[in-house]
Structure 1
Amino acid sequence: MTIDAAAARDREPSRMEEDYLTIVWKAYEWPGDRPTTTDLAARLGVTPSTVSANLKKLARDALIEYEPYGSIQLTDAGRAIATKVVRRHRIIETYLVERLGFGWDEVHDEADRLEHAVSDLVLERMDAELGHPAADPHGDPIPGVDGSIPFADAPTLAAVAAGRRVRVLRVADRHPEVLRYLADKGVAVGTELVVVTAMDAVGAMRVRHAPVGDAALAEGEGAAAPGTTDGAELELSAVAAESIRALPL
């Protein structure tokens, strides 16, 4: 370990370190995603050259493993920092929705600002007030104090075949306009849907709400039963469908 790396572990992480490490952590949380310099630049609103310079610094401080134009991997030290920040972020998001009445499309940026300012004491009081939730309003798992993650994976809705019934498990929070559209159409974490038409070449698919008591499950493998009463239908763009992780029923 270099002198710089040892010093980095003996101090509180900087805002830059927390932001970069958290974005890398979240990228690996969604199967198939891999963080790139371009992605980081777009998410952080900086130039790729700035990202490259900061990644080299994080690697020098033993918080990531990184080679230019190669993969970006968190070290154990980097993962510990990122997991702590993610826990703070998701508890704050949940508090804003559950106690202050924010919409799920409004809380990401607010939590980004607050996660660096709220003390550990206040955060744990918020967590206790909420009843120690396992997931935030988007369905993203909230890491425990010990860093454990109650993780459950599911395919994106875009990958689900026509006729299948699913339950919305998670919705990515990076597209507020998608969250607003889904909320307007009555889609939230826990909503059950039936795929009417699968993702087409144009980049659109149609789903409908699965009414309570729908006989679809009786058909086996989650297939929608013929003759059941359709719920409200809605069209989803590729961006919206890729933002939803849905558990086949």
Structure 2
Amino acid sequence: RARRLAEGNRIRTALLAAVSHDLRTPLAGIKAAVSSLRSDDVAWSEEDEAELLAGIEAGADRLDHLVGNLLDMSRLQTGTVQPLIREVDLDEVVPMALAGVPEGSACLDIPETLPMVRVDPGLLERTVANVVENAVKYSPEGRRVLVAASTLGPRVELRVVDRGPGVPEEAKERIFEPFQRHGDAPRGAGVGLGLAVARGFAESMGGTLTAEDTPGGGLTMVLTLTAAPGHARSGPELPATVTS
């Protein structure tokens, strides 16, 4: 009981920190941009107006992402996530998951011969989106994140490979805990829920999500899913070589 109370207090403290900073910061930016656009004292050029509107859109997207992860974590902790499992192709879901990252920041390598997987498409999309967005945030400028799929017996592996600073071995499990951010988190990294939500959704579908080192530097997230019956391959199909 004492441990549960301590965990509850920790989560409430983290939520207050999220509301006081991670949520209020984009709100403040949106309000400032709107106030500037409504001001009669300044004649904004079309370029200035476009920049202010882009800031409003980015702030709204950040708020939507943060609130979505908070709601998802609440669902996971209360046990209300009920996956609707069906057979889908990864190339139907994964491209949609990349909609939230800048164009050209990630590249896909999903073979056409890949077997279908048994997942909840909505949960899979959220899982991949959180993992890829995290990888992009920590990747050096100009280095694309690789999203590659392969088969291994009755399982399908989706690897999200970045060339960022990586994570020490002793911290590889901690990064999946709620409200955890390793090292110097980049601007806009959020409240540290993305990977916790991603692992929770992966496990709810009977999959796993683990972290390992990228050869040559960086971090690779490995999402393992169940191949649809009758579509499993007899041997491993290795992902493509990591490139910049």
Common fold by TM > 0.5 = no
Q: Report the structure, 1 or 2, having the larger helix content.
A: 2
* Greater RCO (Cα-Cα under 8 Å, separation 6 or more): 2
Normalising by structure 1, what TM-score? 0.23
Normalising by structure 2, what TM-score? 0.24
